[in-house]
Structure 1
Amino acid sequence: MIVAIDGPAATGKSTSAKLVARKLGFTYMDTGAMYRCVTLSVLRGHISLTDEQAIKLLLKDVNIQIEMIEDALIVRLNNEDVSMLIRKPKVTSHVSAVSALPQVREHMVTIQRQIGGNKDCVIEGRDIGTIVFPNAKFKFFLVADDFVRAKRRQLDLKAIGEEKSIDDLVEEIRRRDTYDSERSHSPLKKADDAIEVDTSQLSIEEQVDFMVNRVKNY
C-alpha cells in the first residue's frame, strides 16, 4: 500500500510522513532528499544545468541511500553522510532548478517506483500522487500559510547554524512555489483525489493522527 503525502515546502511533509510511517509500520521515503542529493552532486561538479550529457553521466554515478536510525533520517550520497549538507541554503536555492530537469525527474521516478513498488510505504514529495504513484491508495496534499511556513523554515535553518529573516524566507518560499508549480515536467499540484490538509494551525501530532486515522479507518 502506498500513502502519498505531497505539498510545497515547509508544510510539515517530512516530519509528518516519518511519524505516519512509524505509526503504520510502513517504510518511509523522502523523495525531496533524493533530489537534494542530485543537486549537491551537480553543485560539487560545477555542472551547467544545460549540459544534458554531463548530468546524464552524473546520474549514473549517484548512489543514494536513505534510512531511519532511531528518530534521525540518515542520507548517504555515495557512502558519504550528507544529511546536514543537503539542507544548506545553497542546495535549497538550486534544488528546484535541478529537480525540474526532465532527465533528473525520470531517473528519480524510476528509482522511487522500484523502492516503493513492492512494499507498504509512506512517500512524501511534490508529485507522488500525480506522477510517481498516481494509483496510490491514499493521497494527502499539505498546505499552510506562507508566514507559518517561513517560521518553520527559519527554525530548520537555525538547527543547522544558518540565519535568514522571515521576509526573505517568505519571498524564497513563494518563488519556489511558483517555480515548482509552473515547471513543464511533473509540476507541483494537488491530485484530483487527494485530501487537502491545512497544517497552519495544526500541531504535528494532530496532522499525523488525522492521516493515520484515515488510513486505519479505510
Structure 2
Amino acid sequence: MMKERLTIAMDGPAGSGKSTIAQRLAEKLDYLYLNSGSMYRAMTLLSIREGGDSTNVPMLTKLAKSCRIDFLDNGKTTLLNGEDVSDSLRTPEIDRAIVDIAKTPEVRHEMVKQQRRIGEKGGIIVEGRDVTTVVFPDADLKFYINASVEERAKRRFAEQKTRGIETTLEQVEKEIRDRDQMDESREHSPLRTAEDAIVIDTTSMTINQAVDFVLNRVEVG
C-alpha cells in the first residue's frame, strides 16, 4: 500500500528524460511537480532583465532573496513573482547564462529554501541535479535518471527544433558535455548519484516505459 503524500526526488543530467518522467508521474499521482531547473532558469531570466550580468554575485544574491518562484498545473506553469514566464525559460541566451548562475552558492542557498518551502507538505515530485543529495536528502523515494550523451543530445536537439531554435546536433552535444562537466565538478552541490537512489538508464527506453518503471517502484514502495 502506497503511503500518501510522498516526497519523490529525481536527479540526473540534462536531456536524461527526468523532467518529462517527473511531470507525467505527477499527473498520474496528482502530485505537484517541482522542476528545480526551471527555478534557476527563472532566476537567469530575472538577472537578464536586471542587466544581464550573470557573474555579479551581490546582485544575484539580492534577486534570489527577494524573488518568489512557484509552480502551477502539475509544474507546467512557472511563476516568477506572480508572472507566468513558462514560455520564456528555454532560450539559447538563458542556456548560456544559467551556467554561472547555477554554480553561485548564494543563489543555490536561496533556491534550496524555496524548494523546501514548496515541498514541505509532501505530495511532490521534485527533479534537478542535487535534489536527492542536498535539497531533499530524506525523500521517501530517490531516482537517478541517466542516458548516453549522444541520446541526450538527440533529444535536446529535437526539442529545440520544435521550438524553432537554430542550432546543430554537434553544438547541442558540446553544450551538454560542457554542462555535465560543470554540474559534476562544481564546488557546491555537484551532480552525483545518491547512495540510496534507484538508477534508471533511459537510453533505450521510451518515455512511457520509463514512467511505468518509476510508477511501479512508487506503488510498491
TM-score for both structures, normalised by structure 1 = 0.94
Give 5+ residue unaligned stretches, structure 1.
Answer: none
1:113 pairs with 2:95: no
Determine if the alignment matches structure 1 residue 147 to structure 2 residue 150: yes
1: CA distance, partners of 2:66 / 2:121: 25
- Per-residue CA shift, 1:155-195, capped at 9, x if unaligned? 21122210211111111100000001100011111101111
Match of 1:216 in 2: 219
Say which SS state the counterpart of residue 87 (structure 1) adopts: coil
Alpha-carbon contact 1:84-1:160 (below 8 Å) kept? no
What is the Cα deviation at residue 55 of structure 1? 1.7
Tell me if structure 2 keeps the 8 A contact 1:147–1:166.
no
Alignment partner of 1:10 is 2:44? no
Report the Cα offset of residue 25 of structure 1: 2.4
What is aligned with 1:159?
162
Match of 2:63 in 1: 58
Higher mean C-alpha deviation, range 87-96 or range 105-114: 87-96
1:133 to 132, 136, 145: 136
2:201: which partner in 1? 198
* Seq. identity, %: 40
Query: RMSD value over aligned CA atoms?
Result: 1.5
Matching residue within 14, 22, 30 for 1:25: 30
| Count of paired positions | 216
One-letter code aligned to 1:77: L
Q: For 1:110 and 1:63, how far apart are their aligned partners in 2?
A: 11
Equivalences for residues 79-98 of structure 1 within 5 A:
79-98=82-101
Q: Measure, in 2, the Cα distance between the counterparts of 1:37 and 1:153.
A: 19
Q: Per-residue deviation at 1:63? A: 2.5
Quote the offset at 1:146 in angstroms.
Answer: 1.1
**Do 2:44 and 2:54's aligned partners in 1 also have CA atoms closer than 8 Å?**
no
Letter of the 1:215 counterpart: V
TM-score by length of 2: 0.93
Contact 1:5 1:124 in 2 (8 A): yes
Once the 2 structures are TM-superposed, how far is the Cα of residue 47 of structure 1 from its aligned partner? 4.8
Contact 1:5 1:139 in 2 (8 A): yes
State the alpha-carbon separation in 1 of the partners of residues 63 and 140 from structure 2.
Answer: 34
Do structure 1's residue 124 and structure 2's residue 133 form an aligned pair?
no
**Alignment-mate amino acid for residue 31 of structure 1:** S
Please state whether the residue corresponding to 2:89 is helix, strand or coil.
helix
SS in 1 for 2:59: helix
